Amino acid sequence: MIRQTLHDGWHVAATAGPVPEHVAGRHVPATVPGSAHLDLLAAGLIPDPYLDQAEAELAWTHRTDWRYTLTFEAEEAMADERIDLAFDGLDTVATVELNGQPVGTTANMHRGYRFNVGDLLRGGTNELTVSFRSALAYAEEVEEQLGARPHSYPHPFNMIRKMACSFGWDWGPDLQTAGIWKPVRLERWRTARLGQVRPLVTVNDDGSGRVEVRAEIERAGTTADTELVISATVAGREARVTVPQDHSTAVLVLDVSDVRLWWPAGYGEQPLYDLEVMLARPDGRPLDSASRRVGFRTITVDTTPDEIGTPFTVMVNGTPIFVKGANWIPDDHFLTRITRERLARRVDQALGAHMNMLRVWGGGIYETDDFYDVCDERGMLVWQDFPFACAAYPEEEPLRSEIEAEARENVARLVSRASLALWNGNNENLWGFADWGWREPLAGRTWGLGYYTELLPRVVAELDPTRFYATGSPYSPDEQSHPNDADHGTRHEWQVWNQRDYTTYREHVPRFCSEFGFQGPPTWATLTRWIHDEPLTPTSPAFLLHQKANDGNGKLHRGLAPHLPVPEAFGDWHWATQLNQARAVIFGVEHFRSWWPRTAGAIVWQLNDCWPVTSWAAVDGDERPKPLWYGLRHAYAPRLLTVQPRENGPALVAVNDTDTAWSEQVTLHRQRFDGTLVHAGRIDVDVAPRSVVWVELADPGLLSGEAKEEVLVATSRETRAMHLFSEDIDLAYDPDPLTAEAVAVDEGYRVDVRATSFARDVAVLADRVAPDAEVDEMLVSLLAGETYSFTVRTGAQLDPAELTGPEVLRCANDLHQGGGGTG
Ligand code: BMA
């Protein structure tokens, strides 16, 4: 097999559509893999699409056709040679021509295409063109042909196999990319090549590992068929089989007795083993090879009905896991810019907040090999949605065959991944059909149910029988129940944020909450890098273009007002809404964790952003952690103390997500904000590994009475919980409870903070001073007299006093009486 990569020397031009004059007729150098927007940006022909109102200015690209052209040198095909033109991914509706002759057409960015071009390839100079039609125009045509079906957001993304959020989402820009988005190459081969290679990795009852490699062989058909030999090696074991002529499949089984198990983060190590598969002629001359890294573990989801309903408990190597996770969206709207390093930074942020699972959400893509490499290495479990989200999908052609083809390709591609925990049929489509008024407009037309209940589970069962398949998120494994039933399977909690206050998280005890979240703006440095409104306010035009949620600002305000003062000045508003985002999500996480094992997982909406935007993300589009990220690190900590309501009143809940028992005496101090002790007590907690206990706070001295100037603190060796007696707006805080001093240290600056009165959720918003500055901790609550030292890492030379200024050193208290900052 000889591979000739075709990445250098491409040009792109807009060929039809409402193309502005300065772009029309221009052939600009194109990056492959890449997209037309990025090429125009590099050529200086368009503004950065993320800047201010550029997204709206670029709406003309929705209806533009593009042509990519490449001139390359090649050798003519030999008589016994097969030459394939292999595209790993084209975005999306394309016609491919070689030397003016048609090669093929494509209409699905979620799969690869391989064309036999032996007859068309010339010795010497060749010309390859890939012409992309407007994806939106195509989707509208399919909609016309099949009949419209309900979908969220304006464009019919449900009529084309292209990342749904390409067409805009409630956190994403409406910038419809087009281009050769994955590698492209010529493959020259003789006799045979490896097609699909599917290693099914399991652990036997005796603890030994097993790899069953299922391989498909494609024969060149240029010479008479021969016998072939396939071999596979892993962990020093080898298996070899002879494939008779006319046969095109083989199964190799490798048993590894002394295998080390792969575990998710927080449960053990992640040993990975190299698997090599070789295809050769009978005389041993190699033809093709494939390699994978595998990890030995079992992963399943327990949905055995119990006295409450139907659980949804992820089990790894037989151990039930409380899933601490976040939903994952494409990490940059322009997918081809996402490097492996960027993915590693993002997954490390998830790990840093003690997460053990990312859910790759169905409005995005089947994630890349780089993403899975990083997750395999770090023990980050992955829940992979099939790409269907928030819409009714037709089950007819031209979509049906594309969906089957992409599912087969991606299930086979990802089957060997240690981190891949489960496949899921769709995002919110079962719920959409049940509750969102789809039935009438559908008028009996298909909406995708057949994909979720027949096609996709059949493909998974056939190609990846080792993995659990969930019909949707949310869904009830017990089919009689509503898909979002709290007692059955997975649930999405969106009343909070859309309609109700976050304290209502406590009204439901779901078996598994796979989406819940609350919005907040991006960090200051990210916001002001991309948005230059003057004045900058929540309703200034560019700020609003980067707030995509339906009535987003209204929901931010209604969510804030019951808890914290709603500030006037923009700087205060920014801090208040970020803080409230963190508070809301922490409130949910602590509630869900407190109900383990009845509730078996919390997957926050959402870890990351794909551009600078006000959104539910914990990490913003420029990779900066928002206050929510620090809050998640507290709420997902291996050991957590939290005060939660239980049948007879408030209880102290101790959550022990470690492998060692947690036994100690927790001290309880009820004290005034000025530090005066009101009442003290003690509680013995004794929590088995991976368990939760709660102890009623029965002593009336701890909780009774009016207490607007008091806080109850429960302190253990590793962690503490603070319980306030009212919402912040009703508390008699000292609005200015901190004294502080910053000094230069090796890595940047240390900010020493002292509380003269109880100070809640202290933060150093370091990025307000220098864009590269990042603080090590945030949302620290201090009792009167306590001190805390924050470390700010930065390469910038600062006046240390800036780090203790009123817009930088903040706490919840300073939002009272108009706030400390002036914005
Ligand atoms: C759910 C998700 C996303 C959306 C989020 C916030 O519906 O599945 O579609 O971005 O809520 O509205």
| CATH number assigned to the domain comprising residue 95 | 2.60.120.260
Angstrom distance (rounded) from CA 113 to CA 86 = 6
Q: What is the pLDDT of residues 2-41, one digit of tens each?
A: 999 999 999 999 999 999 999 999 999 999 999 999 999 9
Angstrom distance (rounded) from CA 357 to CA 267 = 13
Band of pLDDT at residue 445, cut at 50, 70 and 90: very high
**Collapsing DSSP states into helix, strand and coil, what is residue 408?**
helix
Whole-Å CA distances, 615 to 13, 85, 493, 556: 34, 41, 16, 10
Q: Flag whether 537 is in a domain.
A: no
Angstrom distance (rounded) from CA 144 to CA 138 = 10
Can you name the residues that pair with 82 across neighbouring β-strands? 189
List the one residue out of 651, 677, 676 whose CA is nearest residue 666: 651
Give the CA count within 13 Å in the CB-facing half-sphere of 173.
Answer: 32
Q: Closest ligand 1 atom, CA of 549? A: 12
Q: Closest ligand 1 atom, CA of 171? A: 10
With tokens 């033109």, the residue in question is 85
**Distance in Å, CA 323 to ligand 1 centroid:** 20
**Distance in Å, CA 614 to ligand 1 centroid:** 14
Residue 590 tokens read as 């602590």
Residue 764 contacts residue 775 (beta carbons within 8 Å) = yes
Ligand 1 atom 9, closest CA: 390
**Distance in Å, CA 617 to ligand 1 centroid:** 11
Residue 595 contacts residue 584 (beta carbons within 8 Å) = no
Mutate to test the pocket of ligand 1, among 431, 605, 610 (most ligand atoms within 8 A of CB): 605
Band of pLDDT at residue 704, cut at 50, 70 and 90: confident
**Of the residues 187, 203, 231, which one is the last residue of a structural domain?**
187
Band of pLDDT at residue 817, cut at 50, 70 and 90: low
DSSP string, 660-704: S-EEEEEEEEEEETTS-EEEEEEEEEEE-TTEEEEEE---HHHH-
**Distance in Å, CA 427 to ligand 1 centroid:** 9
Q: Flag whether 561 is in a domain.
A: no
Residues 370 and 432 in one domain: yes
Q: Closest ligand 1 atom, CA of 428? A: 8
> In the predicted model, what is the mean pLDDT of residues 358-367?
98
Residue 457 tokens read as 């589970």
Cis peptide before 398 (omega within 30 of 0): yes
**Distance in Å, CA 429 to ligand 1 centroid:** 12
Residue-level pLDDT at 158: 98
Residue 683 tokens read as 């509680």
Q: Flag whether 655 is in a domain.
A: yes
Ligand 1 atom 12, closest CA: 170
Task: Please count the other Cβ atoms lying within 10 Å of the Cβ belonging to residue 125.
Answer: 10
Angstrom distance (rounded) from CA 546 to CA 531 = 9
- SS3 for 179-204, per residue? EECCCEEEEEEECEEEEEEEEEEEEC
Helices 456-463 and 399-414, axial angle in degrees (round to 10): 30
**Collapsing DSSP states into helix, strand and coil, what is residue 354?**
coil
- SS3 for 1-42, per residue? CEEEECCCCEEEEEEECCCCCCCCCCCEEECCCCCHHHHHHH
Instruction: Domain count for the chain, please give it.
Output: 5
Mutate to test the pocket of ligand 1, among 153, 390, 613, 614 (most ligand atoms within 8 A of CB): 390
**Collapsing DSSP states into helix, strand and coil, what is residue 144?**
helix
With tokens 């769709």, the residue in question is 426
Could you tell me the CATH number of the domain that includes residue 773?
2.60.40
Torsions phi, psi for 407 (to 5 deg): -65, -45
Edge-to-edge strand ranges of the sheet holding 691-696: 639-646, 649-656, 691-696
**Distance in Å, CA 501 to ligand 1 centroid:** 18
Ligand 1 atom 8, closest CA: 427
Cis peptide before 474 (omega within 30 of 0): yes
Can you name the residues that pair with 686 across neighbouring β-strands? 663
> In the predicted model, what is the mean pLDDT of residues 581-604?
98
Q: Is the pLDDT of residue 706 over 80?
A: no
E-strand stretches of 170-309: 172-174, 179-180, 184-190, 192-203, 209-219, 228-234, 237-243, 249-256, 273-280, 286-294, 299-302
Ligand 1 atom 6, closest CA: 170
Q: Closest ligand 1 atom, CA of 498? A: 12
Q: Closest ligand 1 atom, CA of 362? A: 8
Mutate to test the pocket of ligand 1, among 158, 170, 428, 497 (most ligand atoms within 8 A of CB): 170
Could you tell me the CATH number of the domain that includes residue 719?
2.60.40.10
Q: Flag whether 543 is in a domain.
A: no
Residues 475 and 446 in one domain: yes
Residue 87 contacts residue 70 (beta carbons within 8 Å) = no
Ligand 1 atom 4, closest CA: 170
With tokens 């079906």, the residue in question is 149
**Of the residues 187, 217, 243, which one is the last residue of a structural domain?**
187
Band of pLDDT at residue 224, cut at 50, 70 and 90: confident
Angstrom distance (rounded) from CA 154 to CA 157 = 9
Q: Is the pLDDT of residue 821 over 80?
A: no
Residue 62 tokens read as 């929705």
Ligand 1 atom 10, closest CA: 170
Q: What is the DSSP letter of 452?
A: I
pTM for this model (two decimals)? 0.97
Whole-Å CA distances, 606 to 134, 249, 557: 30, 42, 20
To 10 degrees, the CA torsion angle through 71, 77, 82, 85?
0
> In the predicted model, what is the mean pLDDT of residues 352-381?
98
Q: What is the pLDDT of residues 74-84, one digit of tens each?
A: 999 999 999 99
Residues 201 and 348 in one domain: no
The contacts of residue 125 (CB under 8 Å, 6+ apart) are 71, 72, 73
Can you name the residues that pair with 710 across neighbouring β-strands? 672
Q: Which domain holds residue 93?
A: 2-187
Can you name the residues that pair with 492 across neighbouring β-strands? 515
**Distance in Å, CA 498 to ligand 1 centroid:** 11
Q: Flag whether 634 is in a domain.
A: no
> In the predicted model, what is the mean pLDDT of residues 116-143?
98
Q: Flag whether 10 is in a domain.
A: yes
Rounded to a whole number of angstroms, the distance between the first and last alpha carbons of the chain is 62
Angstrom distance (rounded) from CA 57 to CA 297 = 50
Residue 382 tokens read as 């992955």
Residue 516 contacts residue 602 (beta carbons within 8 Å) = yes
Chain mean pLDDT for the chain: 97
Mutate to test the pocket of ligand 1, among 167, 515, 548 (most ligand atoms within 8 A of CB): 515
Task: Please count the other Cβ atoms lying within 10 Å of the Cβ belonging to residue 551.
Answer: 11
> In the predicted model, what is the mean pLDDT of residues 289-310?
98
Residues annotated catalytic, as ranges: 428
The contacts of residue 285 (CB under 8 Å, 6+ apart) are none
Residue 385 contacts residue 420 (beta carbons within 8 Å) = no
Count of positions (residues) in the chain? 823
CB-count burial class (<10 Å; 0-12, 13-18, 19+) for 714: buried
Residues 183 and 211 in one domain: no
Q: What is the DSSP letter of 616?
A: S
The contacts of residue 575 (CB under 8 Å, 6+ apart) are 567, 763, 765, 810, 815, 819, 821
Angstrom distance (rounded) from CA 359 to CA 351 = 14
Whole-Å CA distances, 115 to 84, 112, 146, 214, 407: 5, 10, 29, 24, 20
List the one residue out of 358, 363, 361 whose CA is nearest residue 346: 358
Q: Is the pLDDT of residue 183 over 90?
A: yes
Ligand 1 atom 1, closest CA: 515
Residue 21 tokens read as 């004059």
List the one residue out of 532, 603, 179 whose CA is nearest residue 360: 603
Residue-level pLDDT at 705: 81
Q: Flag whether 536 is in a domain.
A: no
Q: What is the pLDDT of residues 283-296, one digit of tens each?
A: 999 999 999 999 99
Residues 21 and 168 in one domain: yes
Residues 351 and 371 in one domain: yes
Residues 314 and 289 in one domain: no
E-strand stretches of 494-627: 513-516, 601-604
Which residues sit with their C-beta closer than 6 Å to ligand 1? Answer: 169-171, 363, 389-390, 427-428, 494, 515, 605, 616
To 10 degrees, the CA torsion angle through 730, 734, 735, 737?
-140
Residues 722 and 764 in one domain: no
**Distance in Å, CA 667 to ligand 1 centroid:** 41
Residue-level pLDDT at 818: 53
Q: Is the pLDDT of residue 820 over 70?
A: no
Angstrom distance (rounded) from CA 633 to CA 348 = 12
Q: Flag whether 767 is in a domain.
A: yes
Whole-Å CA distances, 275 to 209, 212, 213, 238: 13, 11, 10, 10
Residues 714 and 781 in one domain: no
Residues 73 and 139 in one domain: yes
Residue 658 contacts residue 639 (beta carbons within 8 Å) = yes
Torsions phi, psi for 467 (to 5 deg): -115, 150
Residue-level pLDDT at 822: 35
Residues 800 and 780 in one domain: yes
Q: What is the DSSP letter of 164?
A: G
**Of the residues 163, 187, 211, which one is the last residue of a structural domain?**
187
Residue 810 contacts residue 763 (beta carbons within 8 Å) = yes
Residues 474 and 601 in one domain: yes
Task: Please count the other Cβ atoms lying within 10 Å of the Cβ belonging to residue 101.
Answer: 10
> In the predicted model, what is the mean pLDDT of residues 473-481?
94
Q: Are strands 323-328 and 357-360 parallel, antiparallel or unpaired?
A: parallel
